Structure 1
Amino acid sequence: MPKAAEIDIVSVSKIYGATTAVHAISLKIPAGSYCCFLGPSGCGKTSTLRMIAGHESISSGDLRLGHVVVTDFPPARRNTAMMFQSYALFPHLDLVDNVAFSLKMKGVDKETRRAKALAMLRLMQMEAYAGRRPAQLSGGQQQRVALARALITEPEALLLDEPLSALDPFLKIRMRAELKKLQKTLGITFVHVTHSQEEAMALADLIVVMNDGRIEQAAAPRIVFEQPATAFVARFMGDHNVLSGRVSAIRDGIVEMEAAGGPRFAVRDIAQEIGAPIDIGIRTDRVRLEPASEKTLGFQAVVSNIEYRGASVKLTVSGAGSDDFTVIVSDADYFNKTVSVGDAVSLSWALEDVVPLGRLSA
């Protein structure tokens, strides 16, 4: 069984000409964990993965795998393996020779490498297809072969560049379950790049949310979901509304915020000055379609869109300076008291459902 490596990224930057793709990021990925880098296109997550692999040079900073600084090591010396988005299988070779290829390049004898390749195909439940070529396989089967080929060298870390993006929705769900099971079985460090919030939540022990070449938040999925660190994380994860304004009062540990258009809201436990800009997050499923009371907060809004989702209904409303404030209600609650596009509605939530959001420094 291969050992797992801790990955320590220390003030690592990547610069392409006049463009900085990754801005001096620092991160520790625990050995044996499943880490997902998450963010929109162009945020720097793939550049970071490729620097870990050694396929991109590091412009500044250092990278440590286990106890070894590998900043200047070529990919072959890092004891990592990378699975590419395209799978990059050799069309003219059967599955055994595809999986065994890296061992062949290392000079391992034919009998030994074929035995190891068959063992890896057995692990991936692909042994029955050993004599086939990639074109004779489905997308999910090709992915399993690519995984077998990456794992045959017994890496300390497996690096995956959007491995599920080419699969249909049903197969994606099945394959992510298999990836999680495989990672737990092998016990090695997995680093997985994705732009899918659902995928990261389902797979990761550690989610690293990136934006514009910087890390906005690195935490366990539940923390990212319940306590987004910044307005970007709250918006990108899609489970919090963001309201922006300025601090209008501070008393007894409660900060009062005045939003665009005049509504005032409160948030606990945040040090601010009067007049300072402030962002707050409110979980979309904690907002109620009812007027605010003495114990709750809220505002008046106008419904702009309604989406039926089966067990829930998503309402988009405008008000308090937001054009896309979202409310998720159960289907039973919605159909007990339906509303239509254009209707005025009262919204409310509890003070404990308000999350103070930080602002990432440049």
Structure 2
Amino acid sequence: MTKAAEIDIASVSKIYGKTTAVDAISLKIPAGSYCCLLGPSGCGKTSTLRMIAGHESVSKGDIVLGRDVVTNLPPARRGTAMMFQSYALFPHLDLVDNVAFSLKMAGVDKPTRRARALDMLKLMQMDGYADRRPAQLSGGQQQRVALARALITDPEALLLDEPLSALDPFLKIRMRAELKKLQQQLGITFVHVTHSQEEAMALADLIVVMSDGRIEQAASPREVFERPATAFVARFMGDHNVISGHVTGSADGVVSFDVPGGTTLSAYGETRPVGAPIDIAIRTDHVRIGESTDRGLGFTGLVTNLEYRGGTSKLTIEGGGISEFTAIVTDKALQATPVAIGDAVPLCWDAGDAIVLGSPTA
């Protein structure tokens, strides 16, 4: 296999008429890493992938693969391969000819291309189905064939556009494990577009969270989850409460702020001017019930919903200008402090669990 290449996206924009789909983003994807572009529909992730592949032109900026500027090169000369969401297999060809198709277009002789296609099918554990056609395969099997066809050109980077979206939930879990194993086995750079937070967390070395054509955060899965950079990231990744307010004071690394409705809270973070808007995030599983605090690290609210989840329960609380605040508590904690819908319950969290959020990055 060809060795992996770093992908450098330098101030890249994609503009359709008066609409900016991708807005001057810059990103370095390390060679040999598994990168997931993550975000809601319309955030610019697929346009970014297609610009890397050469299937969309770059309106502004440059894309560098390894040492080569590939901005204006056609897809076949970039050293990348793309696996489409629909798999795009030819229904009238058997699996060998499907996988070997790009080599046929490149003028490789039939015995050589068929031998290489069989090798790729063997890598995907699909060599026993070589004479079948796509309609005779399951969704997971079709995906393996599409991967084999993409990889036969020995790309430096494999680009995947929501490759698991057509699979049932059980198969998705199985196939994402196979994708991760394949990437580690091949050692090449994978760039994978998804709207699934769980999928990105399971697969990626680098998660790039996008919104409105811009990058909100690019970091490891652990950092994105535990230290979200912006309110959008905290909300999109889930399992965080985001509280907004205006700064009332800063001292010794502690920022105090008022929430509209009367509650005053504190968080550790950079100094902010009085009156400035502020967002903080608190992990739902770091909230404790039944403990009051006078340090701005909690509030008392009414329980508006209670969901039993087996080992944990989800409480939804409102109070002090804060609505739909979530606490995920263990059975042990709930037994120590029994609550019911309509009860007033004090909540608190540790100082290090209140994270001051920043503004989106370019």
Q: TM-score range by the shorter chain?
A: over 0.9
Cα deviation 1:260-310 (Å, max 9, x = unaligned): 211111111312111111111111110011232356721112222233322
Partner of 2:17: 17
- 1:251 matched residue in structure 2: 251
**Which residue matches 1:194?**
194
Counterpart AA for 1:227: R
What CA distance in whole angstroms lies between the structure 1 residues aligned with 2:187 and 2:213?
Answer: 29
Distance in 1 between the 2:253 and 2:345 partners? 30
2:288 is matched with 288
Alignment of 1:91-110 (within 5 A): 91-110=91-110
Counterpart-to-counterpart distance in 2, 1:53 and 1:309: 43
SS in 1 for 2:243: strand
Q: Distance in 2 between matches of 1:51 and 1:320?
A: 47
Task: Please identify, of 189-198 and 244-253, the stretch whose mean Cα deviation from structure 2 is larger.
Answer: 244-253
| Residue 267 (1) aligns with residue 267 (2) | yes
Contact 1:117–1:152 at 8 Å: present in 2 too? yes
Q: Distance in 1 between matches of 2:180 and 2:319?
A: 41
- The code of the aligned residue for 1:212 comes to D
Instruction: Quote the Cα distance in structure 2 between the aligned partners of 1:162 and 1:332.
Output: 40
Distance 2:60 2:49 in 1: 15
Give the Cα separation in 2 of the matches to 1:275 and 1:12: 35
The answer for the alignment partner of 2:149 in structure 1 is 149
Provide the secondary structure at the position in 2 that maps to 1:179.
helix
State the TM-score, normalizing by the size of structure 2. 0.97
| Residues 228-247 of structure 1, C-alpha deviations (whole Å, 9 max, x = no match) | 00000000000211000011
Conserved 8 A contact 1:32-1:190: yes
- Which digits, 9 at most, give the CA deviation of each residue in 1:210-233, with x for residues without a partner? 000000000011110110000000
The structure-2 alpha-carbon separation of the partners of 1:250 and 1:201, relative to structure 1 and needing over 3 Å to count, comes to same
Instruction: State the alpha-carbon separation in 1 of the partners of residues 138 and 206 from structure 2.
Output: 30
Aligned-pair CA distance for 1:322: 3.3
The answer for the alignment partner of 1:82 in structure 2 is 82
SS in 2 for 1:278: strand
The verdict on how the C-alpha distance between 1:357 and 1:171 changes in structure 2, with shifts beyond 3 A counting, is: same
1:217 aligns with: 217
Whole-angstrom distance in 1 between the partners of 2:285 and 2:23: 34
What is the CA-CA distance between 1:335 and the residue it aligns to?
A: 4.7
Match of 1:129 in 2: 129
Q: Which residue of 2 aligns with 1:178?
A: 178
Within a 5 Å distance, the mapping from 1:274-353 to structure 2 comes to: 274-293=274-293, 297-353=297-353
The residue that corresponds to 1:357 in the other structure is 357
1:236 corresponding residue in structure 2:
236
Equivalent residue, structure 2, for 1:163:
163
Change (3 A) 1:162 1:361: closer
CA distance in 2, matches of 1:162, 1:302: 41
Distance 1:350 1:262 in 2: 21
Q: Does the CA-based 8 Å contact 2:124-2:144 persist in structure 1?
A: yes
1:189-230: CA deviations, max 9, x gaps? 000000000100000000000000000000011110110000
Aligned-pair identity in percent equals: 73
The 8 Å contact of residues 299 and 346 in structure 2, kept in 1 or not, is answered as yes
Distance 1:98 1:338 in 2: 61
**What letter matches 2:221 in structure 1?**
P
The DSSP-based 3-state class of the residue aligned with 1:159 is strand
Structure 2 SS opposite 1:352: helix
User: SS where residue 288 of structure 2 aligns?
Assistant: coil
Displacement of 1:311 in angstroms is: 2.6
Normalising by structure 1, what TM-score?
A: 0.97
How many residue pairs end up in the alignment?
362
Which residue type is aligned with residue 40 of structure 1?
P
| Mapping 1:37-56, distance limit 5 Å | 37-56=37-56
Distance 1:361 1:167 in 2: 34
Pair 332,128 (structure 1): closer, same or farther in 2 beyond 3 Å = farther
> Once the 2 structures are TM-superposed, how far is the Cα of residue 258 of structure 1 from its aligned partner?
0.9
Separation (CA, whole Å) in 2 of partners of 1:135 and 1:120: 20
1:40-60 deviation line (CA, Å, top 9, x unaligned): 000000000000000000000
Deviates more, 1:341-350 or 1:178-187: 341-350
Counterpart position of 2:62 = 62
Aligned equivalents of 2:187 and 2:256: distance in 1?
Answer: 48
Rate the CA distance shift 1:52–1:320 in 2: closer, same or farther, 3 A.
farther
Q: CA deviation at 1:329?
A: 1.3
What is the rounded CA distance, in whole Å, between the counterparts of 1:359 and 1:73 in structure 2?
Answer: 35
Q: How does 1:24-35 map to 2 (within 5 A)?
A: 24-35=24-35
Q: Which amino acid aligns with 1:289?
A: I
Q: Over the residues paired in the alignment, what is the CA RMSD in angstroms?
A: 1.4
**Which range moves more in the overlay, 203-212 or 251-260?**
251-260
Q: Secondary structure at the match of 1:306?
A: strand
Q: Which amino acid aligns with 1:210?
A: M
Distance of aligned partners of 1:294 and 1:262 in 2 relative to their CA distance in 1, 3 Å threshold: closer
Report if aligned partners of 1:295, 1:350 keep a CA contact under 8 Å in 2: no
Q: Secondary structure of 1:228's match?
A: coil
Cα gap change, 1:320 to 1:281, in 2 (>3 Å): farther
Q: Note closer, same or farther for the CA distance 1:338–1:136 as it changes in structure 2 (3 Å cut).
A: farther
In structure 2, stretches of 5+ residues that fail to align are none
Query: 2 CA distance for matches of 1:321 and 1:73?
Result: 55
Task: Give, in whole Å, the separation in 2 of the partners of 1:339 and 1:110.
Answer: 72
